[in-house]
Chain A
Amino acid sequence: MHAIALDSKYSVPTVAIHTNVFEKAVQSVTRMHGMPQARYTFVPQPVMGKTAAQLRAYVDGKSPISGRPVMQEVIEGLTRPAEGDHLKEIKFERTTPRLVDSDTDDNLHRLFLENNWTDKLPIVLPTEKRVAAMLAHTSRKPDEVAGHLRSNQFRQHWEFTVEKVAVNAVMAGARPEYFPVILALAASGVSARGSTTSSMAAMVVVNGPIRNEIGMNSGTGAMAPYNHANATIGRAYGLLSQNLQGGSIPGDSYMGSQGNGYAYGSVTFAENEERSPWAPFHVQHGFKPTDSTVSIFTGCRSTAFTLGVREKYWPEHVRNMLRGMDAHSAPTFLLDPIAARQYIDRGGFDTKEKMIEWVYENALMPAGEYWDYQLIQNYIYPRATFGEEPYASKLKAAPDEMIKMFKPDEIHIVVVGGETNGYWRIMGCNYQKTVSVDEWR
């Protein structure tokens, strides 16, 4: 991406060096950015953690893709003019049809599976009748542009209509009355199928009257596969993300090294507002209690859990859990109502904000350890070195000095669970936004 800009916009001959596992992704990105003739070569994966001698061997060696010397390809990339008219390889005017070719039930299921339009589980075929029933539950017109999505910042946005969202909602098995929630998720601009090597998943929290109108679960088993609305809204969010952003295919448009089971349903649930001792999540973010909203988190990977909030050592227990999280993934506390009330009893946190402040002050780590995390090196250290606060100040700390791991606005609390016990967990994830469902009714 940067090489394309430097080469085409600034007219500086540029060669990019990638690792071999990104071959298809590089081809796809350069093609979609209108520069399939971009010059690049490959070295073996990984670069991270290798010694200088091992990396020198990469430089002296051959590309694992072409079998030609890496540095020969680098020098040719800077000096050899483009051969042939590569631009002819691009289709500049492409349209997506409204209908696929008619076929039998079995053949269509096979087609959807082979085209990577599913999550590899059976889908409901989106017939005209089913899509029309879905569309009947919004006032928006079928051909209205509902939004834009892309799998990461190096990809271009794709566009989609209300009808395209309805097609994916049908495929997921969602009932028409769920459609405003699904539309709100699609229109958010946040993809549930982000392409990052870290294998992130999304998490969706629904607040307000819509929760009970469509029978969502905020109690026992809310985050598990026991509620039709929770399950199919989350599945629809995943399907629409992959299909409306131009795909999510391993090695091409999805680079999650290990993958993530949370991605099947995007951890979709309603907050248990009725049993929570605190203000609902959407009210914390500027909405009225009578508004219906969805809140979207991404980067869900790490989880820590425990039972109860113990009288004597609860601060130590919580600090241990926070230290066990990756320092780059901020904590969102998912508390059963029993645990939420225990936090009030133990810590006096009569608002979520007071508990968040305590977490902020107590999530500490020696500076040396913090800065040595690879994700901190990749994403925070560069910002710190160029003066961005609060990272720049943290960078001044001695290696043994305890520094804060997170910022207050990165820490969140949601109440969910059926009070069968006082279990609670911390989800390492990044809050993206809260959006209105009512606008999509």
Chain B
Amino acid sequence: MNPALRRGIGLAALASTAATVWLGLWVTPPSVQQGNLVRLVYLHPAIAWDALYVAFGLSAVCSLLYLWRRTRSLFWDRLAAASVEVGVVFNALTLVTGSIWGRPTWGVWWTWDARLTSTALLLVLFLGYLALRRVPAEPEVRARRCAVAALVAFVDVPIVHFSVNWWQTLHQNATVLNADLSPTIHGSMAWTLLLSFVALTLAFVWMVTVRYDIEVMRDQVGEEELEVSLAERWAEAQAAEPVMAGAGLPEGSAPPSPPTSGPAPLDPVLRPGEPAGSGR
């Protein structure tokens, strides 16, 4: 991404988050029913929105695009990885901020409610995705595995969304994305809630772009290291060749055996300077 555009998104995210905090903590009125606890509503749903729908939705779309032969590219795999990692942070924060709201409202930090449990399961599933990415494998193999894992994990997202409708839960029903699509929040509260969605989505986009760069550079470093080690092994093999040829040995003596602990002989196809993946 263009660095100027990314900087702009970052600054917009900072400014809108600051505005959300100012409106949420000092400008909007307390709720009739919840009192000041309603101020957590300007944070928790927006964080959950970014985790469930934006981050994991994006990772599912990218995974589908990777698995589809016509659009298969490591770009989608890296974008999915970036989105999942940021999404996991948002998902964990969803649980934490929900718990902080639940303690004074419900009287407990945690309950095995359908919404809470399915959200916790989602966190575990996508932590599994991140663990799967760390299993050593060829980039294409890793990408295919992770794309399937992301799609399997994404099945939990609609379960989280509809859990409050399918089961009797302690968690309240959707305020904005309800069945009638008619938000049950009004005035400055509604605008502040909307601003929080925009602010945290901008923050999410900024984080994913930075995380995507990290994924690209991580692959580059891996390939560079492979190329350097191949070049070193090639040079060692070339340097060892005159010794291996047995020059200067007396007649009748056996030629020296190849070193068993040294570098393995190189594939003649591989040459220094060639891209690391060219031999695969």
A binds B: no
Chain B contacts to A: CB under 8 angstroms:
none
Task: Give residues in A with beta carbon < 8 Å to B.
Answer: none
